Structure 1
Amino acid sequence: MLNKSNRAKLAKKTINEIIPRLLKSHARARTGVERSELIHFSPGNVIKRSTPTPRSSAEFERIPSETPPHASKKEGMHTCSPLSGFRVDSSHRPSKKRKVEDLHQIDPSPSISEFTSASPVITLPRIRIIKSDTFDAAKATIRSHPKSSVAVLNMASALQPGGGVLRGALAQEEALCTRSTLYPSLNPDFYRMPLLSAIYTPDVLVFRGSDLVDLPQSEWFYTGVISCAALRQPEVEKGGDGKMIYSEEKDREVMLEKIRLIFQIAKEKSITHLILGALGCGAYHNPPEEVAMLFRKVILGGRRKEGVTGIEEITFAIFDEGENLTSFRKAFEDVMVD
């Protein structure tokens, strides 16, 4: 395992030398970078997006400043106004002693047993919860389903392309940027990412393994990437069952809309197999039980909203054994497949 200093050196060499060479020699990867776009949450039918000014190959070789403009300690916090059309009803602040389960029974998510033969035909995605690295899960999915359209979730920084990759950080986004052509697609023009927006990059070329060793070229693969930033350091508190919950209803609602945005993009891009993770449940300290239940609510739907359709399989790839993996397995225990 490389130490932080050596990871930083590897990242800089990768971004400054290796990726530019790959983009010059692999048109598909280069086109993927050029086609990256910032997509805004649109609960209606109108999709809002931003496309960057085309950049020359020389710009791909330039390492940007490691300090983003307008950076603040609360990276990813929703200090800016939400997008037009997104409303938060602050009158429904939960009691300090409510439980995670109570908070999500207002609009309950159905289990598979609720879909009877008398119900309209609803095709639920297969849901898998596995201990795995994100790109490793994508590679296995592509191998098992070679005709599938795969995308992975990059749990991104809202302020800076690649987060702390140039400083040798080793969170999920930094690992993805060190192993693939993702980094140059995270155009600085997209930052600071608006609160309810995410970046979609098609055809990201993965050329390095989770051990940071280059893969044989025969094992390289392409995947789409949805880069979405979670809330950073939201206020949390213990619920009545001792589990951590959001203190503010507005934080819960923002995370719910971020999750809906991820699936909005996946649907728009005709993704059939989606690799997700425990969004914001690491260094950003979102409560894993609540985040898992929010994903369940969006995926399975409820009385008020339809669940996710058009996606064949959703895999939550969570790298470490621990609270995050346990929380997601519990949230989906009645619907997940082996």
Structure 2
Amino acid sequence: MTDQRESTSHGNINLYINLYPETRRKKDEDRIDDVEHDDGASSPYFESNEKSKSGQVEDKAKKRQQRQTLLSLGSDGHLSTRKPLTNPTKRSDAARKPLKEIAAETKTLLPGLLATRPDVPDKGYLYTDGDAPILDKKYCPGLPATKVRVINSDSIDAALALGSSAMNNRHPCVLNMANANSAGGGWQHGALAQEEALCYRTSLSRTLKRHYYPLPAKGGIYSPYVLVIRNNMKSGHDLLDLRNPAALPVISAISVAAVCMPQTTAGANGVLTYRLGQDKRLMEEKMRVILRIAARNRHRQLVLGAFGCGAFANPKDEVVNMWASVLKEAEFGGGWWSDVVFAVLDDGRGNLQTFKNSLDGMMV
């Protein structure tokens, strides 16, 4: 890689101190159970995992919830205190928890959580055009051929189901189908495509440095360490147990942008194809770049997707055939991967069935 720039920011440090009810007998006997650091303006809240069975049980559950005091350490060295935000609704009620609020809370939580995980630096490495040359076979691990799997799943869930590779302790690597011009796409404004879904749930956004944009046509960003802090949207984007940050899972990501809104032609059977050969060739090269970045960084477990087949309107039948063709190229043969999974959510566009029909069970 020729460019490994990164940026950092500094601000006030907020200490999140959870004070359990049974320890609050008098102020000088308070016990500090958890300390987290954050440079955001608003604080998180932690909810009891207990579920109310009735109004009476709900009262008891409220008493069992953690109390929290926020100490804010300013740049002048002075401490101040304030009460954290309270959650007016159940976290599982996604309709009442707008995605913009989820994004804001994620941004607030991440600095403190990452401060407790020095093994998860928020680094992203830019691959410019030409930084991912053809793979050298002498570095191929020679793994047994594996079956491609196509599943109806969120990308993160698919990666977590794989677990880390036992052979080299590398994390599963997820394809982030990125916006070429905006880091994280529209995640801070409540948009919901695959990239935004990744950002709501993880630290990916902190690795997508603004000065890397626009992304190179034949390049992307490699994020070796991405911390997962939330469940999926179907689960209401519930936070994982943040009281033990060391237990939070980690994945890796490769962010590459598909061709956006290519011209297409409909055949006699109604199947769309690329009108311009240059768009098809560029998409194929992007696929090669994704696979090369993963292989060069010794990732043996890949979670790919319906690259460009959503809002970017690439023709799904051609895209799936291109994936099949590229994966079968000699460069990528010989056993680079132990798992190749296509996580394609069934969103009514027909992508899931198209990918299943062409890729599921294919040997690579």
1:329 aligned residue: 356
> Does the residue aligned with 1:208 lie in a helix, a strand or coil?
coil
Cα separation, 1, equivalents of 2:307 and 2:99: 23
Cα separation, 2, equivalents of 1:300 and 1:45: 14
CA RMSD of aligned residues (A): 2.6
1:140 aligned residue: 161
Q: Provide the identity percentage.
A: 33
Cα separation, 1, equivalents of 2:180 and 2:315: 19
1:239 aligned residue: 267
Q: Which runs of 4+ in 1 moved over 2 A?
A: 1-5, 40-47, 121-126, 143-149, 216-220, 305-309
Asked if 2 retains the 8 angstrom alpha-carbon contact of 1:301 and 1:308, the reply is: no
2:101 aligned residue: 9
2:186 aligned residue: 164
1:185 aligned residue: 207
2:344 aligned residue: 318
- Cα offset, 1:275, TM superposition: 0.3
Q: Out of 253, 256, 259, which is 1:228 matched to?
A: 256
Cα separation, 2, equivalents of 1:152 and 1:277: 9
Provide closer, same or farther for how the CA distance between residues 296 and 162 of structure 1 changes in structure 2, counting only shifts above 3 A: same
Cα separation, 2, equivalents of 1:227 and 1:259: 11
> Is 2:304 the counterpart of 1:276?
yes
- Cα offset, 1:301, TM superposition: 1.9
Larger radius of gyration: 2
> Is 2:279 the counterpart of 1:251?
yes
> Does the residue aligned with 1:166 lie in a helix, a strand or coil?
helix
> Is 2:321 the counterpart of 1:293?
yes
Letter in 1 for 2:182: Q
- Cα offset, 1:148, TM superposition: 5.4
Asked if 1 retains the 8 angstrom alpha-carbon contact of 2:146 and 2:363, the reply is: no
> Does the residue aligned with 1:275 lie in a helix, a strand or coil?
strand
- Cα offset, 1:233, TM superposition: 0.7
1:194 aligned residue: 216
Cα separation, 2, equivalents of 1:122 and 1:179: 32
Range that drifts further, 238-247 or 248-257: 238-247
Cα separation, 2, equivalents of 1:290 and 1:7: 33
1:60 aligned residue: none
Cα separation, 1, equivalents of 2:128 and 2:326: 17
> Is 2:21 the counterpart of 1:21?
no
Cα separation, 1, equivalents of 2:361 and 2:297: 29
- Cα offset, 1:25, TM superposition: 1.7
Range that drifts further, 1-10 or 245-254: 1-10
Asked if 2 retains the 8 angstrom alpha-carbon contact of 1:4 and 1:168, the reply is: no
- Cα offset, 1:149, TM superposition: 3.7
- Cα offset, 1:150, TM superposition: 1.2
Cα separation, 1, equivalents of 2:204 and 2:216: 20
Cα separation, 1, equivalents of 2:183 and 2:194: 13
Provide closer, same or farther for how the CA distance between residues 183 and 306 of structure 1 changes in structure 2, counting only shifts above 3 A: closer
Provide closer, same or farther for how the CA distance between residues 143 and 260 of structure 1 changes in structure 2, counting only shifts above 3 A: closer
> Is 2:241 the counterpart of 1:216?
yes
Instruction: List per-residue Cα deviations over 1:287-327 (Å, max 9, x = no partner).
Output: 1111111110111126xx65474111100001116411111
Higher relative contact order (CA 8 A, sep 6+): 1
Asked if 2 retains the 8 angstrom alpha-carbon contact of 1:150 and 1:274, the reply is: yes
Q: After TM superposition, list the pairs within 5 Å mapping 1:9-158 onto structure 2.
A: 9-15=101-107, 17-29=108-120, 31=121, 33-34=122-123, 36-42=124-130, 44=133, 123-142=144-163, 147=169, 149-158=171-180
- Cα offset, 1:22, TM superposition: 1.2
- Cα offset, 1:145, TM superposition: 6.1
Instruction: List per-residue Cα deviations over 1:30-69 (Å, max 9, x = no partner).
Output: x2x13x111134364699xxxxxxxxxxxxxxxxxxxxxx
| Number of equivalences | 258
Cα separation, 1, equivalents of 2:339 and 2:280: 25
2:29 aligned residue: none
Range that drifts further, 150-159 or 140-149: 140-149
- Cα offset, 1:19, TM superposition: 0.9
- Cα offset, 1:6, TM superposition: 1.6
Provide closer, same or farther for how the CA distance between residues 122 and 201 of structure 1 changes in structure 2, counting only shifts above 3 A: closer
TM-score, normalization by structure 1 = 0.70
